[in-house]
């Protein structure tokens, strides 16, 4: 069987190889999640409360955050944090509105009397999962809720773990969530998929989470839509001899501190730079407060690969299809145009992933585990449906009905043939 990597064999060497595989290292959670979903589907709020107590050590009688609690959470934000949150919301909204402006309805007359088109229809009810995680990620609700509101979704709800910092509730409220619920994990996904007496069933679930959340999204897909299945965070940096080792190492560790299973790597045409990056990472880890996380990610999943030329560098990056790809080359705009598989692209050494993670306006909910080969990340288009329609007058029927009648007869689908012929007068139709 041919591998995607076969064409690159002999064209690269690895200065540092990952020692583990973030995908296969995921513990089997399928059975646990299946049981949670079944219980929540059958017992609703009682099951949600049971799992919240078991997993989050919180006994939450009323899972919905009240209006008073929302206002208090916002009031308790220090002015700078609120200002920064609103800055991020404004930037994400501005970019989402510009994207929405490119998604246009369509009407054409394909043949005389045959009218085809599509409408851009907002999804009615969206559920946004807001992770608690190791840190309070204040940007998380901004990225999922704001585009939903820009898209025009009627109802946008947010679920977040009951022990999440109150600032996360404030972020959900400022971003525009219509309802906020204190429930996390697989039980939150199940509740949003099937509904309980308290939490409404939604049409689509978006937002990242841990392995249990991810598996729950996989299992409820079909009953509801989902944005994607997200694994641990990833960053790859594409660099030539002009790259700055200290900058590259800093950006790698910035992502590595997300999780001990973060995949971080560099692919470069310059061996000297590769060796310098390796030294810089080890030096920076000595005084990085998050080194207990970032260091494990680097040791287990870090990678530095040296290739023979830029074309091979581009091919290797496209093979990895990382969530984030930074371009640190002599002419980053030219290099960037050659790349095709990535979640989001950061062109030039001034464009750090952290800006997108927090507040610059592009969405940080992106494809991982090589899904960048076939999809992009969360965006305003994720919250609308492009639904086609058609209408015909007599000229249109005369143009398409004869072919539809003949094809139906060939396929021996008599009901189809009759429906196609019904709209056609005998004068207009003759079998040819």
- CA 432 → CA 167, 402, 406, distances in Å? 71, 9, 8
Active-site residue, selected from the candidate residues 258, 324, 328, 364: 324
How does DSSP assign 155-167, residue by residue? Answer: EEEEEE-TTS-HH
Contacting residues for 411 by C-beta, under 8 A, at least 6 apart: none
- Told to judge if 323 belongs to the known catalytic residues of this protein, a careful annotator would answer yes
SS3 content of the chain, % helix, strand, coil (to 5): 45, 20, 35
Which residues sit opposite 109 in a β-bridge?
115
Torsion of CA 193, 196, 198, 201, to 10 degrees: 30
Q: Is 346 exposed, middle or buried (0-12, 13-18, 19+ CB in 10 A)?
A: buried
- CA 43 → CA 47, 65, 70, 190, 290, distances in Å? 6, 21, 28, 11, 41
Please count the other Cβ atoms lying within 10 Å of the Cβ belonging to residue 366. 26
Per the CB < 8 A criterion, the answer to whether 40 and 47 are in contact is: yes
Q: What are phi and psi of 204, to 5 degrees?
A: -150, 140
Torsion of CA 172, 174, 180, 184, to 10 degrees: 10
Q: Is 38 exposed, middle or buried (0-12, 13-18, 19+ CB in 10 A)?
A: middle
Torsion of CA 76, 78, 80, 86, to 10 degrees: -10
Q: Which residues of 404-424 are buried (b: 16+ CB within 10 A; e: fewer)?
A: bbeebeeeeeeeebeebbebb
Active-site residue, selected from the candidate residues 280, 323, 328, 364: 323
- Told to judge if 324 belongs to the known catalytic residues of this protein, a careful annotator would answer yes
Which residues are catalytic, by number?
Answer: 323-324
């Amino acid at each position: 069987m041919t591998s995607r990597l076969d064409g690159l064999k002999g064209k690269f060497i690895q200065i540092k190889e990952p020692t583990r595989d973030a995908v296969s290292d995921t513990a089997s959670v399928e059975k646990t999640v299946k049981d949670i979903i079944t219980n929540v589907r059958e017992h609703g709020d009682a099951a949600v409360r049971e799992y919240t107590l078991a997993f989050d050590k919180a006994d939450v009688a009323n899972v919905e955050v009240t209006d008073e609690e929302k206002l208090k959470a916002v009031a308790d934000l220090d002015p700078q944090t609120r200002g920064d949150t609103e800055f991020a919301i404004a930037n994400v909204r501005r970019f989402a509105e510009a994207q929405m402006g490119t998604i246009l309805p369509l009407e054409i007359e394909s043949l005389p009397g045959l009218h085809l088109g599509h409408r851009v229809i907002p999804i009615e009810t969206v559920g946004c999962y807001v992770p608690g995680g190791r840190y309070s990620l204040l940007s998380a609700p901004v990225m999922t809720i704001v585009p939903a509101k820009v898209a025009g979704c009627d109802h946008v709800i947010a679920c977040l773990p009951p022990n999440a910092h109150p600032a996360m509730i404030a972020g959900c409220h400022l971003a525009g969530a219509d309802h906020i619920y204190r429930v996390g994990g697989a039980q939150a996904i199940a509740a949003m998929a099937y509904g309980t007496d308290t939490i409404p069933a939604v049409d689509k679930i978006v937002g990242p989470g841990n392995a249990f959340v991810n598996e729950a999204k996989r299992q409820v897909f079909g009953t509801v839509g989902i944005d994607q299945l997200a694994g641990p965070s990833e960053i790859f940096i594409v660099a030539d001899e002009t790259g700055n080792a200290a900058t590259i190492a800093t950006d790698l560790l910035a992502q590595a501190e997300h999780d001990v299973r973060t995949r971080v790597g560099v692919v470069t045409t310059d061996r000297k730079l590769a060796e310098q990056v390796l030294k810089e990472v080890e030096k920076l880890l000595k005084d990085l407060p998050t080194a207990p996380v970032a260091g494990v990610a680097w040791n287990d999943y870090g990678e530095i690969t040296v290739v023979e030329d830029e074309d091979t560098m581009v091919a290797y990056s496209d093979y990895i299809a990382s969530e984030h790809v930074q371009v640190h080359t002599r002419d980053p705009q030219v290099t960037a145009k050659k790349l095709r598989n990535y979640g989001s692209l950061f062109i030039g050494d001034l464009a750090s992933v952290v800006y997108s993670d927090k507040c610059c306006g592009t969405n940080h909910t992106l494809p991982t585990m090589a899904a960048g080969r076939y999809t992009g990340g969360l965006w305003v288009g994720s919250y609308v449906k492009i639904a086609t329609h058609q209408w015909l007058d007599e000229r249109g029927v005369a143009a398409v009905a004869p072919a539809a009648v003949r094809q139906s007869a060939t396929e021996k689908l008599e009901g189809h043939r009759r429906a196609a012929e019904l709209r056609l007068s005998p004068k207009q139709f003759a079998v040819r």
